[in-house]
Chain A
């Protein structure tokens, strides 16, 4: 992976971290509800873990399959999935549903996993991962044996992405909790979902163009 790839992964992580719907707002709510900063801090690791799991599934799957099959097929499939998912997010008005504010750490992780998956967080990494040359090139390229190495790269990518996400979420959550107050939501909560859907479609198109 090149430095630019890692930077892109981290940047996307930071973008996810900024999104209130991806978890920091939940952490702030718990901090405010219990009037303890510790409650806020305790909520963030499970949220990051859920996000990591969601992203890692896609990243590992893509990296591994890409090592084992023709790059074009993965790129075209991935591109189509991205465009389709993006359009669905853009056009669908159904909202992600989850009941319950009092969640255990495990439930919070599950919530974050589903929230990230529902928003296509892992899919977003596709263009970055696919821009990389396939792992294990040379005579064994396309051989199944290369899959584990590819998956590892994917997991590393997910980890970097999540670290950036957690860092940004932590900073924003503390800033809102300690300094700004939740009133800032009304002014600053840009509709990331709608932007996100557009970005997914664009990333899909770019991936498709790159594959042909």
Chain B
């Protein structure tokens, strides 16, 4: 049922979202790599005044096994205030949780008991396939007129094309494929938009067979993973332009457009260059009537003793940073870049998006360093800061350590473990400081690995704003 007044967690502008009260709690996707136990949504207490602060305080298991829950999102968010299809009286209460491996999409209601989300619907892979022609659902965004879910693969065992399925945001039925004309686009991964400019952007990873059994060396060296981003007419649902980053830049993944709706730029992270194992971040921006990209951040590989490296990396004698996630603060000032290979989270001031300035860095885990959390110096950590989520006010940053089951196993063959760290922004220097009280890990996650975190009431990668 709709509300009489707007959902208090909807904000017309980024500034009003940044002024919002702090989140409590946080939701984390937790999956069983072996596929023996059900995956779950873990609930973390983020209230610093609570006795259970920093602990897993809720746990909702999904009904099946083998889902590999990965990215998820809210059914509704600030875009409900957008004037083309305004409906601010719906509620931000359902988490839309896709299984990347099973192609099942789960709908969980967080309202009745925020610490125990209740499963209210499961959309089977056959419905996603039949109605939209897709499989392997990945990124979820709450659009003003429906729920948009990107998917990596095609239906009926087809490799692709991947694309975006639209779900009805009240019945959660799959309405169909979003694309009216996909042009040359085949590979899919992330998507987001410049909503007020009728522009949608998509990125590229690989098809199911390219990722599900781990990274395929020949395909990587053959430069076959995605290396382009696509611009679309959001209103007409048509492909407008493909921008190639160069085929040495393999896997153009996370897209973070400026939150300010009057701005026309955004950042995309590239996992690896096959020329020197570096990672990079690119800026997309207008170039006359067209779109262009400029590399603005380059992160080199770190030399390492081959004895310390997994099989895959031994021949190279270096650790690639592997930029697998990036996140832009709601005020568009700070970009956080996850280097999952070296175990570093780097913070850049991107007030001038063409010239990012490195202002902070934290090391946790990493293929070689295994840097422990400063509060628990005797526990070497596997994995690294991977999915990164920033609070609306930009003061807290949450990182979780698993990338993707099969890839975890390749880069951390002795086990990736499970941990979520919270970092506080140093008010003096602008850097990041791990919070000693907030470090749920290991058995707290009941044998599951942890992927994305979502914050109650929205976070820096969940909402779109239509007013500056």
Indicate the member of A26, A95, A187 with the most B CB atoms within 10 Å: A95
* A182 & B12 in contact (Cβ 8 Å cutoff): yes
Binds B, one of A146-154, A188-196, A200-208: A188-196
Query: In the complex, what residue of chain A is closest to B468 when comparing beta carbons?
Result: A32
Indicate the member of A25, A96, A190 with the most B CB atoms within 10 Å: A25
Known: A101-B84, A102-B198. A95 touches B5 (CB 8 A): no
Contact of A185 among B3, B6, B146, B168 (CB under 8 A): B6
Within 8 A of B (CB), among A93-127: 93-102, 111
Known: A100-B84, A100-B234. A191 touches B4 (CB 8 A): yes
Nearest Cβ on chain A to B172's Cβ, whole angstroms:
11
B residues near A102, Cβ cutoff 8 Å: 197-198, 235
B residues near A96, Cβ cutoff 8 Å: 85
B residues near A71, Cβ cutoff 8 Å: none
Within 8 A of A (CB), among B78-118: 81-89
* B262 & A33 in contact (Cβ 8 Å cutoff): yes
* B5 & A20 in contact (Cβ 8 Å cutoff): no
B467 at interface, CB cutoff 8 A? yes
* B89 & A191 in contact (Cβ 8 Å cutoff): yes
A140 at interface, CB cutoff 8 A? no
For B220-249 the 0/1 string (1 means CB < 8 A from A) is: 000000000000001111000000000000
A143 at interface, CB cutoff 8 A? no
Within 8 A of B (CB), among A10-50: 20-21, 25-26, 28-29, 32-33, 35
Within 8 A of A (CB), among B183-201: 195-198
How many residues of A sit at the interface, in one of the four size bands?
20 to 34
A residues near B126, Cβ cutoff 8 Å: none
Nearest Cβ on chain A to B106's Cβ, whole angstroms:
20
The distance in angstroms between the C-alpha atoms of A47 and B234, with both chains bound, is 22
Known: A29-B466, A95-B145, A186-B10. A100 touches B235 (CB 8 A): yes
* A20 & B6 in contact (Cβ 8 Å cutoff): no
B residues near A20, Cβ cutoff 8 Å: 83, 86
B residues near A193, Cβ cutoff 8 Å: 2, 89
Known: A93-B170, A99-B145, A101-B196. A194 touches B4 (CB 8 A): yes
The distance in angstroms between the C-alpha atoms of A107 and B11, with both chains bound, is 27
Known: A25-B86, A33-B261, A190-B4. A182 touches B145 (CB 8 A): no
The distance in angstroms between the C-alpha atoms of A190 and B197, with both chains bound, is 27
* A186 & B16 in contact (Cβ 8 Å cutoff): yes
A138 at interface, CB cutoff 8 A? no
Contact of A101 among B86, B171, B466 (CB under 8 A): B466
Contact of B234 among A99, A187, A194 (CB under 8 A): A99
A residues near B262, Cβ cutoff 8 Å: 32-33, 35
B residues near A93, Cβ cutoff 8 Å: 2, 170-171
A-B CB contacts (within 8 Å), total count: 101
A residues near B467, Cβ cutoff 8 Å: 28-29, 32, 182
A residues near B84, Cβ cutoff 8 Å: 26, 98-101, 111
B residues near A101, Cβ cutoff 8 Å: 82-84, 195-198, 235, 466
B8 at interface, CB cutoff 8 A? yes
Known: A35-B262, A100-B235, A193-B89. A183 touches B5 (CB 8 A): no
B169 at interface, CB cutoff 8 A? yes
The distance in angstroms between the C-alpha atoms of A95 and B197, with both chains bound, is 22
Query: In the complex, what residue of chain B is closest to A34 when comparing beta carbons?
Result: B262
Size of interface on B: residues with Cβ below 8 Å to A: 39
Indicate the member of B11, B88, B467 with the most A CB atoms within 10 Å: B467
Contact of A99 among B81, B87, B237, B261 (CB under 8 A): B237
The distance in angstroms between the C-alpha atoms of A191 and B4, with both chains bound, is 5
The distance in angstroms between the C-alpha atoms of A182 and B6, with both chains bound, is 13
Nearest Cβ on chain B to A169's Cβ, whole angstroms:
12
* B6 & A186 in contact (Cβ 8 Å cutoff): yes
Within 8 A of B (CB), among A145-175: none
* A183 & B16 in contact (Cβ 8 Å cutoff): yes
Within 8 A of A (CB), among B149-184: 168-171
B residues near A26, Cβ cutoff 8 Å: 83-84
A residues near B8, Cβ cutoff 8 Å: 186
The distance in angstroms between the C-alpha atoms of A6 and B8, with both chains bound, is 38
Nearest Cβ on chain B to A16's Cβ, whole angstroms:
14
The distance in angstroms between the C-alpha atoms of A20 and B88, with both chains bound, is 11
The distance in angstroms between the C-alpha atoms of A29 and B236, with both chains bound, is 20
B329 at interface, CB cutoff 8 A? no
Query: In the complex, what residue of chain A is closest to B235 when comparing beta carbons?
Result: A100
Known: A189-B88, A191-B2. A100 touches B198 (CB 8 A): yes
Known: A33-B468, A101-B84. A95 touches B170 (CB 8 A): yes
B13 at interface, CB cutoff 8 A? yes
A residues near B466, Cβ cutoff 8 Å: 29, 101
B residues near A29, Cβ cutoff 8 Å: 82-83, 196, 466-467
The distance in angstroms between the C-alpha atoms of A183 and B6, with both chains bound, is 11
Indicate the member of A98, A99, A100 with the most B CB atoms within 10 Å: A99
The distance in angstroms between the C-alpha atoms of A94 and B2, with both chains bound, is 11
Given contacts A98-B85, A182-B467, 7 further A-B contacts (CB under 8 A): A26-B84, A99-B198, A186-B16, A189-B6, A189-B88, A191-B4, A191-B5
Q: Mind listing 27 A-B residue pairs with CB under 8 Å?
A: A26-B83, A29-B83, A29-B196, A32-B262, A32-B467, A33-B196, A94-B168, A95-B169, A97-B145, A97-B146, A98-B85, A99-B234, A99-B235, A99-B236, A101-B83, A101-B195, A101-B196, A101-B197, A101-B198, A183-B13, A186-B11, A189-B5, A189-B6, A189-B89, A190-B5, A191-B2, A191-B89
Binding site for B on A (CB under 8 A): 20-21, 25-26, 28-29, 32-33, 35, 93-102, 111, 182-183, 185-187, 189-191, 193-194
Binding site for A on B (CB under 8 A): 2-6, 8, 10-13, 16, 81-89, 145-146, 168-171, 195-198, 234-237, 261-262, 466-468
